[in-house]
Chains A and B, each alone.
Chain A
């Protein structure tokens, strides 16, 4: 009777070495065991290398097919129905709007789909409105209540974010496969409450790192069917861009203030109306627009450039700061001067802009993605999040 040896801790190389030195005639059972283990390990290695070395099939752009004329008509008719029904129809309007934008976004010959049902959205809106009203009333009655509620709310924020993301991802599909979000509440509590709170005590010096943690949490916990998103974003990029954006703001503001003081102020003396105050306000707004666009563009490009979907796709983004500033300024002015009628046009422009700035490298695993399990998630969290102004946007 030969004694057996536990090979389970051996690496593949060690197993092969052991197999070469063993005498098959003396220890047939051990040899057989080794052969089995070697075959098993080699199979694993083969699949992992296949995954990491998935072939690049093609590099494609994102095409957005929506047009402002068509969407304006949809938008305004839905708005009318929403007003006439005192807001109830808004759930249907939201579904149609999202379906329009998702369905008109095409990558590699396939379009996205928005799957939520209006009743899910309606339920969410009602719950969110009640929660907000309760909060407002309690705050009015007693500020101390409000303070306690703020703490309760802080504990709930991560939950709202997690449920909101889960709903949003599950309601998004591409090629009949849903996206998924599986971030945990505990991690969300860390990145959305604990780290931001601690960063206050570092005079926000920790903030770029916190923002990176938030993005990382969201992306790493997202998957397309059974394929995970994976990102290698760098803290240094977040710091470099935060600092550059702050400097940019200061620079624009100083130039604006100098222009106000030396050009506008003397002019005002003639006009009898102080233009320099307007000048300073304008330089603040322009500075903010430029700096935030710079930051958003750079971070989006970094984020996309470092993100891949396991053996399915690699992303890349080339948003230019100037283009983004132009987009936002023109959109805002158009909306303000048309008293909101330009909202559909602005939304279509923005969708086109971001689509044009995005590229996808399609990898060979694209046809083998499997759908994960499909549960149902209510829309409450997502709706509550919009109403309470928790920003969920990733890019």
Chain B
């Protein structure tokens, strides 16, 4: 016998009752004789699965509800052999230890490998026409906000373009054309960036920093081509979309502060993804320089010019950086040059 609360269907009326078990039947009796004893087949009642120390909820075929503090005997009757399985997992020490160890490992695998892998493959399905539209919009947005027309003379621009055309001829690419643009920008400083459709923008400051030396400009150009050939921008976008969905999906119901924290986590992941891209683009440039019979030292020299311009940053900060340390990149290129 268990004392229980009986909630009548259709209203808030509640009565104290006693319940008992007779074989496969649940017997409900009213001590205050509000109603006659009721008897229900086990097959016809609906039981909410056991959860923590919550009282048990039993829904009768009449839609009345019984709430009762369960004990071992009642739980066994209500749950049958398999019913309480989830609760067993949730209260089992072995499952607890497995979860405490397994969750961090799985989170690391999913966010560190699963999502980037998925993003890389998803990005392959983006058609060239979409990349073209997206690049065009991005460039016009940048032109409107942070870019100014180049102050380089037409002759300088043409001669640099001419050098680049030789580079493009020398490499093996599926892309019809690489479109090089020059711009002035205070925000970007000495920089070059590639848009997904093969548009590559050099800032005047970069051209000046490399003292218009074609050999160095070519090395940087090859690095940017590496980003385009390996579809890095689209992979970044795909990664960011997939990661955002995954994070909202897994932790959508936690507080804002925690989400902000997860945001930091996801930007660390993104930056690592982006650092990996820089290395891939570097390696692409080095490989192509070799194939063209030039020296990877060209790339190292271009990076050296950078290093003089921007002083090296300490190691800890590298987690929050999109680019690997310049010193490491110079070493990488010089090692390649020595091997030649």
Expressed in whole angstroms, the Cα–Cα distance for A87 and B48 within the complex equals 23
- Which of A190-198, A207-215, A230-238, A361-369 contacts its partner? A361-369
B51 within 8 A of A: yes
Chain B contacts for A84, CB-based, 8 A:
106
Given contacts A94-B253, A176-B9, A340-B258, contact A73 B54 (CB under 8 A): no
Q: Say yes or no: B12 contacts A175, CB within 8 Å.
A: yes
Nearest A residue to B64 by beta-carbon distance?
Answer: A176
Chain B contacts for A71, CB-based, 8 A:
52
Q: Say yes or no: B248 contacts A110, CB within 8 Å.
A: no
Expressed in whole angstroms, the Cα–Cα distance for A71 and B65 within the complex equals 25
Given contacts A332-B258, A336-B261, contact A369 B12 (CB under 8 A): yes
Within 8 A of B (CB), among A140-172: 140-143
B51 touches which of A100, A129, A369, A387 (Cβ 8 Å) = A100
A132 within 8 A of B: yes
Expressed in whole angstroms, the Cα–Cα distance for A132 and B103 within the complex equals 26
Q: Say yes or no: B249 contacts A129, CB within 8 Å.
A: yes
0/1 string, B87-102, CB within 8 A of A gives 1: 0011100011011101
Given contacts A87-B250, A369-B12, contact A140 B237 (CB under 8 A): yes
Chain B contacts for A387, CB-based, 8 A:
245, 248-249, 252
A343 within 8 A of B: yes
Q: Say yes or no: B254 contacts A175, CB within 8 Å.
A: no
Expressed in whole angstroms, the Cα–Cα distance for A254 and B253 within the complex equals 34
Chain A contacts for B100, CB-based, 8 A:
76, 341
Q: Say yes or no: B54 contacts A99, CB within 8 Å.
A: yes
Chain B contacts for A73, CB-based, 8 A:
90-91, 96
Q: Say yes or no: B11 contacts A78, CB within 8 Å.
A: no
B61 within 8 A of A: no
Expressed in whole angstroms, the Cα–Cα distance for A70 and B54 within the complex equals 11
Nearest A residue to B11 by beta-carbon distance?
Answer: A370
Name the distance in Å between B263's Cβ and chain A's nearest Cβ: 12
Name the distance in Å between A351's Cβ and chain B's nearest Cβ: 12
B253 touches which of A104, A111, A225, A386 (Cβ 8 Å) = A386
Q: Say yes or no: B95 contacts A77, CB within 8 Å.
A: yes
Q: Say yes or no: A70 contacts B249, CB within 8 Å.
A: no
0/1 string, A77-94, CB within 8 A of B gives 1: 111101110010010001
Expressed in whole angstroms, the Cα–Cα distance for A142 and B132 within the complex equals 10
Nearest B residue to A80 by beta-carbon distance?
Answer: B99
Q: Say yes or no: B245 contacts A129, CB within 8 Å.
A: yes
Expressed in whole angstroms, the Cα–Cα distance for A292 and B107 within the complex equals 32
Name the distance in Å between B141's Cβ and chain A's nearest Cβ: 7
Q: Say yes or no: B57 contacts A343, CB within 8 Å.
A: no
Q: Say yes or no: A141 contacts B241, CB within 8 Å.
A: no
Q: Say yes or no: A110 contacts B5, CB within 8 Å.
A: yes
Q: Say yes or no: A133 contacts B258, CB within 8 Å.
A: no
Chain B contacts for A367, CB-based, 8 A:
12-14
Nearest A residue to B91 by beta-carbon distance?
Answer: A73
Q: Say yes or no: B86 contacts A96, CB within 8 Å.
A: yes
A61 within 8 A of B: no
B7 within 8 A of A: yes
Name the distance in Å between B53's Cβ and chain A's nearest Cβ: 6
Given contacts A74-B51, A80-B106, A141-B134, contact A225 B11 (CB under 8 A): yes
Q: Say yes or no: A132 contacts B245, CB within 8 Å.
A: yes
Q: Say yes or no: B96 contacts A136, CB within 8 Å.
A: no
Q: Say yes or no: A328 contacts B257, CB within 8 Å.
A: yes
B38 within 8 A of A: no
A63 within 8 A of B: no
A142 touches which of B65, B133, B237, B248 (Cβ 8 Å) = B133
A76 touches which of B8, B103, B244, B249 (Cβ 8 Å) = B103
Chain A contacts for B102, CB-based, 8 A:
80, 83
B258 touches which of A97, A343, A366 (Cβ 8 Å) = A343
Chain B contacts for A340, CB-based, 8 A:
258
Chain A contacts for B237, CB-based, 8 A:
140
Chain A contacts for B106, CB-based, 8 A:
80, 83-84
A251 within 8 A of B: no
Within 8 A of A (CB), among B113-140: 130, 133-134, 137
Q: Say yes or no: A143 contacts B248, CB within 8 Å.
A: no
Q: Say yes or no: A225 contacts B12, CB within 8 Å.
A: yes
A65 within 8 A of B: yes
Expressed in whole angstroms, the Cα–Cα distance for A143 and B248 within the complex equals 23
B254 touches which of A96, A336, A343, A371 (Cβ 8 Å) = A343
Expressed in whole angstroms, the Cα–Cα distance for A331 and B255 within the complex equals 10
A87 touches which of B67, B95, B96, B249 (Cβ 8 Å) = B249
Q: Say yes or no: A80 contacts B103, CB within 8 Å.
A: yes
B163 within 8 A of A: no
Q: Say yes or no: B12 contacts A96, CB within 8 Å.
A: no
Within 8 A of A (CB), among B211-263: 237, 241, 244-246, 248-250, 252-255, 257-258, 261
B337 within 8 A of A: no
Most interface-central of A87, A142, A340 (chain B CB within 10 A) = A340
0/1 string, A368-391, CB within 8 A of B gives 1: 111100000000000000110000
B110 within 8 A of A: yes
Chain B contacts for A248, CB-based, 8 A:
none
Expressed in whole angstroms, the Cα–Cα distance for A175 and B7 within the complex equals 6
Name the distance in Å between A26's Cβ and chain B's nearest Cβ: 49
Chain A contacts for B245, CB-based, 8 A:
129, 132-133, 387
Nearest B residue to A140 by beta-carbon distance?
Answer: B237
Chain B contacts for A127, CB-based, 8 A:
none
Most interface-central of B12, B13, B133, B257 (chain A CB within 10 A) = B12
A335 within 8 A of B: yes
Within 8 A of A (CB), among B7-36: 7-14
Q: Say yes or no: A100 contacts B54, CB within 8 Å.
A: yes
23 of the cross-chain contacts (CB-CB < 8 Å) are: A65-B53, A70-B91, A71-B52, A74-B51, A80-B106, A82-B250, A83-B110, A87-B250, A96-B51, A96-B86, A97-B253, A103-B55, A113-B57, A133-B241, A140-B241, A141-B133, A175-B12, A176-B11, A176-B12, A176-B14, A335-B257, A336-B261, A371-B11
What 8 pairs between A and B have smallest CB-CB spacing? A176-B7, A369-B12, A80-B99, A83-B106, A76-B99, A332-B257, A103-B54, A136-B241
Q: 13 additional contacts, CB 8 Å, given A78-B90, A99-B54, A140-B134? A: A73-B91, A76-B100, A79-B99, A83-B102, A83-B106, A87-B250, A90-B250, A99-B48, A110-B5, A140-B241, A143-B137, A336-B261, A371-B11
